[in-house]
């Protein structure tokens, strides 16, 4: 069994904070791109059964109906007979009744929708194009069509955001009553519009206060905090993202996609011309036993329940207490343990980077 990530690098507009690999949608480019994507998959896929399939971007829902049909023709190249989770990333303005019905017909069973904020002032600052009412209408439409597993992305720590602003976003988020919520603190990345305009990040204390506020509000409702930035209702954790955090193999197809297969990690090119000329891979690294172990810790500790001690021992033939400075981190209280798991101590999760850097 394998997992698959497919990258669709097109968006209707470019958000002021985004440094993902994407470009403004153009039909001629999208058509060429899908042709090359099909070729890439045909040349690399080995016929395994696929357990989770994730189409991300960019904004896959920006593709028109003909292109989406082409995309599903491509995903049907995979053996989907035992597919458990099929996610497609969408944003509000490009979601239509027709597209949602097409997704459903083609086996998509999870939507991941970028909302970020319900507040007009920040929608404008982020260069997004929806209104609060549209968010409610489109998510209701998706539920009516039968989607029972929906994730919504929320961003916080927006420039000069107040706790009242955040309360407004969290109240609305909870009213959506979706199964999964991802919450990201805004990062002002080089070469984005916010960076070029010298927009200032919020101070660290407020960022922390916001993180704690979100955690409290969501866990007081029926959401479990299961990964640093992710919350879900019972049994609605993202199966696909857990493949990454469990350090398992997956295919990555498309511009800038990464994959991890048979002991090698690879990155695809970010150059569209090269990609369309079938020059896909930009680098490949063989993962040594030690690197595999590093990844296991760096990715595994992102999960709030942490790493299972016995499974670690079975997988690596060594006790987790014996690797890196795990014992010291336990002594210092940065890590904690129960009978089965070692995990980042509650108050350290917000500062998890300071722990994970020990394994880099
Ligand atoms: C690549 S986007 C895909 C979703 C879709 N394109 C959309 O924006 O609606 C994935 C998510 O990453 C988050 N994200 C992107 N850039 C970020 C940044 N600079 N800081 C924090 N979160 C960011 C946003 O919440 C976004 O929804
Ligand atoms: S956040 Fe999403 S919609 Fe905005 S530019 Fe990035 S990928 Fe595109």
Name the domain boundary from 244, 272, 306.
244
144 and 69 assigned to the same domain: yes
Q: What is the whole-number distance in angstroms between the Cα of residue 18 and the centre of ligand 2?
A: 6
Instruction: Indicate if 144 and 207 belong to the same structural domain.
Output: yes
Partners of residue 2 on adjacent β-strands: 50
Closest residue by Cα to residue 34 from 7, 9, 70, 61 = 70
Domain boundary among 188, 215, 244: 244
Answer whether residue 100 is part of any domain.
yes
In a domain, 273, yes or no: no
- What is the spatial distance between Cα 22 and Cα 223, in angstroms, rounded to a whole number? 31
* Residue 354 within any structural domain of the chain: yes
Query: What's the 8 CA to ligand 2 centre distance in angstroms?
Result: 11
**Centre of ligand 2 from the C-alpha of residue 358, in Å:** 32
Does the reported pTM lie above 0.95?
Answer: yes
Task: Write the CA distances from 155 to 18, 48, 158, 206, 235, integer angstroms.
Answer: 12, 36, 7, 14, 24
- pLDDT, mean of residues 324-345: 97
Dump strand ranges (E) for 209-280.
Answer: 224-227, 230-232, 251-253, 258-261, 264-268
For the residues of 100-138, what is the DSSP string, one character each?
HHHHHHTT--EEEEEEE---HHHHHHTT----HHHHHHH
Q: What is the pLDDT of residues 123-148, one digit of tens each?
A: 999 999 999 999 999 999 999 999 99
CATH number of the domain enclosing 332: 1.10.10.920
Ligand nearest to the CA of 58: 2
Counting ligands in written order, the one closest to the CA of 12 is: 2
Q: Are 43 and 149 within one domain? A: yes
Q: How confident is the model at residue 114 (pLDDT cuts 50, 70, 90)?
A: very high
Of 18, 92, 189, 195, which is best to mutate to test ligand 2, by the most ligand atoms within 8 angstroms of its C-beta?
18
**What does the pLDDT read at residue 156?**
98
Same-domain pairing of 210 and 306: no
On whether residue 328 sits in a domain, the answer given is: yes
**Residue 196: what are its φ and ψ, rounded to 5°?**
-65, -35
Nearest to 54 by CA among 104, 108, 98, 92: 108
- Do 339 and 192 reside in the same domain of the chain? no
Cis check for the bond before 172: say yes or no (omega within 30 of 0). no
For ligand 1, pick from 114, 181, 185, 192 the residue to mutate: most ligand atoms within 8 Å of CB: 114
The predicted structure's pLDDT at residue 262: 97
Q: Residue 39's domain is classified under what CATH number?
A: 3.20.20.70
Torsion angle in degrees (nearest 10) through CA of 123, 125, 127, 129: 20
One domain, residues 304 and 168? no
Judge whether 160 lies within some domain.
Answer: yes
Pair (218, 323) in one structural domain: no
pLDDT score recorded for residue 186? 98
Name, in order, each residue with C-beta under 8 angstroms of 46's C-beta and a sequence gap of 6 or more.
none
Structural domain ending residue among the three candidates 213, 244, 275: 244
Indicate if 240 and 142 belong to the same structural domain. yes
Which atom of ligand 1 lies at the shortest distance from residue 20's CA? 1
Cβ of 259 below 6 Å from ligand 2: no
Does ligand 2 have an atom closer than 6 angstroms to the CB of 14? Answer: yes
Task: Summarize the chain as % helix, strand, coil (round to 5).
Answer: 45, 25, 35
Determine the Cα–Cα distance for residues 115 and 193; give it in Å rounded to an integer: 19
Same domain, 225 and 340: no
Domain count, the chain: 2
- Whether 75 and 211 share a structural domain: yes
Are residues 239 and 294 both part of a single domain? no
Question: Residue 84 is encoded by which pair of tokens?
Answer: 């458990």
Residues with C-beta less than 6 Å from any ligand 1 atom:
17-18, 20, 57-59, 89, 91, 114, 116, 153, 155, 184, 186-187, 189
**Range of 217's domain?**
2-244
Same domain assignment for residues 231 and 303: no
- Cα of 152 to ligand 2 centre, how many Å? 14
Q: Quick one: pLDDT at residue 55?
A: 98
Confidence of residue 100 (pLDDT cuts 50, 70, 90): very high
Q: Encoding tokens for residue 189?
A: 């990345």
pLDDT tens sequence across 198-218? 999 999 999 999 999 999 999
């Amino acid at each position: 069994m394998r997992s698959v990530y497919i990258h669709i690098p097109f968006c209707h507009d470019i958000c002021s904070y985004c440094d993902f690999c994407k470009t403004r949608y153009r039909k001629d480019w999208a058509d060429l791109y899908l042709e090359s994507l099909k070729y890439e998959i045909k040349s690399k896929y080995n016929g395994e059964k696929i357990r989770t399939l994730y189409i991300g971007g960019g904004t896959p829902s920006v593709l028109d109906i003909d292109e989406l049909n082409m995309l599903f023709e491509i995903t049907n190249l995979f053996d989907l007979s035992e597919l458990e989770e099929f996610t497609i990333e969408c944003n509000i303005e490009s979601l239509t009744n027709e597209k949602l019905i097409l997704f459903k017909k083609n086996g998509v069973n999870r939507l991941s929708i970028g909302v970020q904020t319900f507040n007009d002032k920040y929608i404008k600052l982020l260069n997004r194009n929806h209104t609060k009412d549209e968010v409610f209408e489109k998510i209701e439409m998706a539920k009516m069509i039968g989607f029972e597993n929906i994730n919504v992305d929320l961003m916080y720590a927006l420039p000069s955001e107040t706790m009242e602003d955040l309360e407004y976003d969290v109240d609305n988020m909870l009213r959506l009553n979706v199964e999964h919520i991802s919450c990201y603190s805004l990062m002002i990345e080089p070469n984005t519009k916010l960076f070029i305009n010298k927009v200032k990040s919020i101070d660290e204390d407020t960022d922390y206060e916001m993180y704690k506020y979100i955690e409290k509000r969501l866990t007081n409702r029926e959401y479990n905090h299961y990964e640093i930035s992710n919350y879900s209702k019972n049994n609605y954790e993202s199966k696909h993202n857990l493949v990454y955090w469990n350090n398992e193999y997956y295919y990555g197809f498309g511009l800038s996609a990464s994959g991890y297969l048979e002991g090698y990690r690879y990155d695809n090119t970010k150059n569209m011309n090269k990609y369309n000329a079938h020059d896909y891979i930009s680098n490949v690294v063989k993962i040594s036993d030690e690197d595999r172990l590093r990844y296991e810790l760096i990715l595994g500790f992102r999960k709030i329940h942490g790493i299972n001690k016995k499974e670690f021992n079975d997988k690596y033939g060594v006790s987790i207490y014996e690797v890196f400075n795990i014992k010291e981190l336990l002594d210092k209280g940065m890590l904690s343990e129960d009978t089965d798991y070692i995990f980042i101590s509650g108050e350290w999760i917000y500062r998890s980077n300071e722990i994970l850097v020990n394994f880099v």
